[in-house]
């Protein structure tokens, strides 16, 4: 049985005087303990909104889950009362946000910010609490951890702040870690270090990781499986290696071709023409229709289901069909 099983998840925007507008539609995926699933796609695809739904952090009543289920350890998160979320969030499920500088409180030392979770969920106090904080900073390989406890966020580098965020997220040994663009604000060298750290910790702690990222090179190196999102839907998913080597959806193929690592020396970085359509203009057919070089007449009128790993009426020919 999967640790997390999402089926038909739909997140909608409610506006006064009009019908709810789906922002994320009919998402289905699963995640096992110790596995890393990467969710990739352009900005506006619904990746971060999916993460917020899984954390119970949607801005209600404007945003809400209007269909589907999110079964985590046998409980449906979509119907979980807020009092139960307070016991679960930061304890069994934790999240690393994009920008550690805006996520950390600049007015408090980093040790005090880690203390909150340890005190609330593990009931630690006094010397035991401080010792646990130092152990957490050691766990994420923050240099001179004991002397960092009383430092403020502005006294740390970007990579060090992100390590503190990881330490906070893992303080209570959650079973599921959601990492939302954890390397966005970091330079290339530090990005690899942070992903290497998360990968090592998920193996050591048997931690399931849902990684949201734009960096396909890092995804290819560290993730086990990948789900490609476009305009609120998963358009392709499968094991990382076959999907990257043999993509079937034109959007996935375009994303991979646009990756910086695919640009030959002296060449030009490719791009997919057009933009992700806003939720109110997604139409009834394939949402990638206007940008697709393989579109058929059928694509404009009929939305393709996710079959054999890809949601496309005219998939890119490949060597094999993924299950």
Domain edges within the chain: 31-58+81-223
Whole-prediction pTM: 0.91
11 touches 65 (CB < 8 A): yes
Fold held by 31-58+81-223: Rossmann fold (3.40.50)
DSSP state of 149: T
Compute the distance between CA of residue 110 and CA of residue 155 in angstroms, rounded to an integer: 10
209 touches 32 (CB < 8 A): no
State the pairing for strand pair 93-96/176-180.
parallel
Provide the β-strand partners of residue 31.
Answer: 4
Q: Is 321's pLDDT higher than 60?
A: no
pLDDT > 70 fraction of the chain, expressed in percent and rounded: 95
Q: Quick one: pLDDT at residue 319?
A: 58
pLDDT band at 161 (very low <50, low <70, confident <90, very high): very high
Q: What burial class does residue 185 get, using C-beta atoms within 10 Å of its C-beta: 0-12 exposed, 13-18 middle, 19+ buried?
A: middle
Q: Is 312's pLDDT higher than 50?
A: yes
41 touches 230 (CB < 8 A): yes
As a 3-state breakdown, the chain gives helix, strand, coil percent values, each rounded to 5, of: 35, 20, 40
pLDDT band at 323 (very low <50, low <70, confident <90, very high): very low
pLDDT tens digit sequence for 287-302 = 999 999 999 999 999 9
pLDDT tens digit sequence for 50-89 = 999 999 999 989 999 999 999 999 999 999 999 999 889 9
State the pairing for strand pair 225-230/36-40.
parallel
pLDDT band at 320 (very low <50, low <70, confident <90, very high): low
Mean pLDDT for the stretch of residues 266-271: 69
Contacts with 124 (C-beta within 8 Å, 6 or more apart), sequence order? 118, 132
- What is the separation, in whole angstroms, between the first and last Cα of the chain? 18
Q: Is 175's pLDDT higher than 60?
A: yes
The two tokens of residue 125 are 């106090």
> CB 109: neighbour CB atoms within 10 A?
17
Q: Is 263's pLDDT higher than 90?
A: no
**Lowest mean pLDDT across 20-29, 105-114, 204-213, 255-264:** 255-264
Q: Give buried/exposed letters for 160-183 (b at 16+ CB in 10 A, else e).
A: bbbbbbbbbbbbbebbbbbbbbbb
> CB 100: neighbour CB atoms within 10 A?
23
Mean pLDDT for the stretch of residues 263-282: 79
pLDDT tens digit sequence for 184-208 = 778 888 888 999 999 999 999 999 9
């Amino acid at each position: 049985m999967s640790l997390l099983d999402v089926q038909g998840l739909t997140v909608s925007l409610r506006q006064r005087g009009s019908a709810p507008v789906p922002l994320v539609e009919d998402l289905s995926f699963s995640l096992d303990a110790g596995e890393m699933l990467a969710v990739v796609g352009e900005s506006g695809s619904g990746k971060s909104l999916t993460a917020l739904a899984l954390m119970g952090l949607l801005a209600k009543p404007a945003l809400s889950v209007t269909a589907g289920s999110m079964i985590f350890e046998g409980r449906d998160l979509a119907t979980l009362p807020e009092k139960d979320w307070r016991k679960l969030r930061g304890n069994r499920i934790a999240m690393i946000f994009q920008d550690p500088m805006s996520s950390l409180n600049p007015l408090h030392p980093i040790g005090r910010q880690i203390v909150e979770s340890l005190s609330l969920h593990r009931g630690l106090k006094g010397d035991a609490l401080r010792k646990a904080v130092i152990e957490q900073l050691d766990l994420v390989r923050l240099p001179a951890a004991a002397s960092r406890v009383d430092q403020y966020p502005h006294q740390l580098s970007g990579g060090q702040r992100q390590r503190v965020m990881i330490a906070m997220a893992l303080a209570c040994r959650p079973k599921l870690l959601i990492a939302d663009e954890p390397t966005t604000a970091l330079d290339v060298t530090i990005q690899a270090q942070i992903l290497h750290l998360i990968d090592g910790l998920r193996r050591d702690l048997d931690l399931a990781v849902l990684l949201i990222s734009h960096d396909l090179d890092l995804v290819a190196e560290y993730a086990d499986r990948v789900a490609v999102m476009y305009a609120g839907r998963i358009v392709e998913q499968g094991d990382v290696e076959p999907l990257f080597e043999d993509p079937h959806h034109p959007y996935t193929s375009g994303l991979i071709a646009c990756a910086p690592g695919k640009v030959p020396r002296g060449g030009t970085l490719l791009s997919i023409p057009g933009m992700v359509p806003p939720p109110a203009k997604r139409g009834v057919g394939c949402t990638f229709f206007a940008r697709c070089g393989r579109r058929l007449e059928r694509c404009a009128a009929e939305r393709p289901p996710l079959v054999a790993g890809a949601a496309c009426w005219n998939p890119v020919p490949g060597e094999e069909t993924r299950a």
